[in-house]
Amino acid sequence: MMPVLVWLCVPGLLVVLFSAAAPGQAHMFGSDDPLVSLAGGASHLLLNSSSSWVTLFFASWCGHCQHFKPSWMKLANNVKDWRPAVYLAVLDCGDESNSAACTNFGIQGYPTVKFFNAFSQSPSDGIKLSTRDPVDLRRSIIDGLEAQKESPPPACPPLEPISAPEVDQFFENNEESYLALIFENPMMYMGREVALDMVQYEGVSVRRVLKQQSDLVDKFQVSSFPSGYLLVRNGSIRKINLKESRAAFTKFLRSLPGVKKANTNLIGWSASTIIGEPIVKRTVNSSVVYMADLESSIHYSLRVEVARFTDLEGERLKALTSYVTVLKKYMIARPLLRTLLDSVYTWIIEQADTVVLYKDFADVLNNKNQVQNAVLAPHVNYVWCQGSEPQFRGFPCSVWTLFHLLTVRAAAVESDEKPYPLEVLHAMRDYVTYFFGCRECAQHFEQMASESMHSVRTLDGAIRWLWISHNRVNKRLAGQESDDPEFPKIQWPSKEHCPSCRRKLGNDTTWDGSEVLSFMKSRFSENNLSYEYLEDESVLLENQKTAAGIVRAKREAEGEAKKLETKSRNDTIDKPIKAKEENLDLVSKGKQNPRHRPIIIKMKSNNIFQGERVKEEKIVDLDSYESHIFPRRTLQDSNMHQNNLALQPERLLDPPDAEFDQVAVRERLLKRGIDPDYLIGVMAGNGEINWKGRWVKMLEVGFSRLDISLCVILYFLTSMCLLTMYLYLNLRTRFLRQRRWCPQA
């Protein structure tokens, strides 16, 4: 595991450089490298792109990422001419601003290299490349490009072997002046590498020919592999008599007359990712432990490291529970952080044996509901753990500091029941195993733990074991890429910090175990904590409330937008239904809908007007009352009627035998100018029903007199036709019977 608690051999106060990098800066790489920074636009660049992408997801603080950097840069410089067919990109997942993007692309450890085909649609389409060797990575890229047969990058040249007919007809079908053929064994990559080297050049095409293609091998009399031949448009053929190497082939082809570099627009390093804040100086006391480093470790571990896993269950959930438990029990925290740790602990204990979504855990961690005054710093604020450059020290340093403090605090707890000696060490081991981003660091730590952690028997023994393990890591990684030159890794504590911790045994120097233990307990005691450079908790709380209010307002706005969208969609769907309802309302109010053509009947009624009996005909709209009169309807009207009833169940029609106020009905019909006599009978002036002619009127309902006359005529004609047919068939039957029995001469 990367050593980061490094102590300068200078007593008292130290002045250290505190470099605050701008968000999105990939600290290990810069604009001069042939790379593309994905800070702020990973999905935009990697997905739906006409190019293939090979991306390194790393953390600037990860020692093994720094160790891998030279190999990655060697690859980047080796394939830089393959752009725009394929780009190499980097994304610093150690930067909090990139945390969400790395989670979206499923990055759970560093370094991770993924290959994205052209026109990839989803972050999950990335193919993980496990090798770290530059040559193997280059060949994996070629294999990935060649596998994209259906939708290859438009800029990618043909990588499959050329056939004899293609060679014969090449200049007829292409505009290039030259065709370079590279004969090689199937397992060789030179032909494809040279073809990709010429992506940015025009005038020549490079194709591969395999040793098994005997027709072309015999035609060109090839005897050694690899070999190269140059075909010119004028018909000449030339053997390339150069040293058979990729660089030699490429240099020769680029020097041919008429071959020139094309004007290609390439994606470069984003200018917004290379601007950093000025370096400032802080006065740091190397003899104390800074609370800012401890809170930074808790913030980063819970909000960045754990956040890489959207679902927390099984052993991973147990590891998180153990980590939160030791924080709650042994962390020396400010009041509002103490309240938050208690809240998080209570919540996560209740989630045992379940699947926890990280977003739910984050809501508790961020005190989303603001049920109490509790807050954790929302960003890192390294003091002693800040390196001379952003990629040095940082989070790993704070992790060591935090767990050193927890082991000392566990031993200092006064209670009737002493803590389990391995409680803190097991919590650290599980956290590193399941959450620590530097996976090779985690493997090294697990190896140390499996070798000797089981031998710890006491709480003091846990303090010693962690101190010994820390120095083992320092010794292994001293002088490597992850070693900060201004804070070199040494065996700690130094003589300046603890002169009595070392003692002479002859010519050798050894550690005094009891003195080291006393030093550790003194250094990580509550009295040795410094609260400098911390932002006031009340300010953090107000900022948290403001942020929560903004998030809440945003969610409410999104909810309102969704409601409006749903309402708009429902209104669009309901327009025909509402139109039908309006039609019914218009009819019920005596208003005529322009699209409504009423069924009319004419009826005679004898009304007395100014003492005279007047005969008149009334035109009546029966649609409003057809459900009472007609038991059958057309299919369209029936469906409309059922839809309206389904949407308005409260407007149920009365059953056929229901009683209703005849006088009230008559008054409503008279107001509408409709003769009510057609419905039940003729009502006398005194309100009594005159049943005379009721059945005749009921037979006439819905039909004019002309309609009835036509029906009678058709009925009469039909009867006469049937009678005629009957008489004809009867007479013919009699005739046939007489003829049958008539004797023949």
Determine contact, residues 34/90, Cβ cutoff 8 Å: no
Encoded tokens for 585: 């309302």
* End residue of a domain, out of 596, 613, 638: 596
**Residues 338, 441: one domain?**
yes
**Residues 240, 95: one domain?**
no
Per-residue pLDDT averaged across 609-637, rounded? 42
Instruction: Evaluate if residue 251 carries a pLDDT over 80.
Output: yes
CATH code of residue 185: 3.40.30.10
**Residues 469, 439: one domain?**
yes
* Calpha distance 365→360 (Å, rounded): 9
**Residues 542, 437: one domain?**
no
CATH code of residue 301: 1.20.120.310
The answer as to whether 738 is a domain residue is no
Backbone phi, psi, residue 707, to 5°: -60, -40
Catalytic residue among 65, 397, 441, 498: 65
H or E, element range at 510: strand 508-511
Q: What pLDDT sits at residue 235?
A: 93
Instruction: Evaluate if residue 241 carries a pLDDT over 70.
Output: yes
**pLDDT tens string 302-334:** 999 999 999 999 999 999 999 999 999 999 999
**Residues 438, 470: one domain?**
yes
**Residues 679, 639: one domain?**
yes
Lowest mean pLDDT among 211-225, 252-266, 530-544, 553-567: 553-567
The answer as to whether 731 is a domain residue is no
* Calpha distance 117→123 (Å, rounded): 11
The answer as to whether 684 is a domain residue is yes
**Residues 613, 545: one domain?**
no
**Residues 559, 651: one domain?**
no
What range does the domain containing 432 cover? 293-380+396-483+519-528
Catalytic residue among 9, 62, 385, 711: 62
* Calpha distance 466→394 (Å, rounded): 19
Catalytic residue list contains 62: yes
The answer as to whether 640 is a domain residue is yes
The answer as to whether 613 is a domain residue is yes
Catalytic residue list contains 501: no
**pLDDT tens string 110-138:** 999 999 999 999 999 999 999 999 999 99
3-state per-residue secondary structure call for 199-266: CCEECEEEEEEECCCHHHHHHHCCCCCCEEEEEECCCCEEECCCCCCHHHHHHHHHCCCCCEECCCCC
**Residues 129, 141: one domain?**
yes
**pLDDT tens string 697-730:** 445 545 566 777 888 898 889 999 999 998 988 8
Per-residue pLDDT band for 627 (boundaries 50, 70, 90) equals: very low
Residue 208's DSSP bridge partners are 182
Residue 579 has, within 13 A of its CA and on its CB side, a CA count of 11
Determine contact, residues 375/337, Cβ cutoff 8 Å: yes
Q: What pLDDT sits at residue 556?
A: 66
**Residues 372, 470: one domain?**
yes
**Residues 591, 606: one domain?**
no
The answer as to whether 195 is a domain residue is yes
* Calpha distance 658→610 (Å, rounded): 36
Determine contact, residues 337/302, Cβ cutoff 8 Å: no
**Residues 305, 449: one domain?**
yes
The answer as to whether 266 is a domain residue is no
CA nearest to 349, candidates 324, 376, 312, 313: 324
The answer as to whether 737 is a domain residue is no
Its pTM stands at 0.69
- Per residue in 614-647, is it b (16+ CB within 10 Å) or e — as a string? eeeebebbbebbbeeeeeeeeeeeeebbeeeeee
Q: How many domains does the chain have?
A: 5
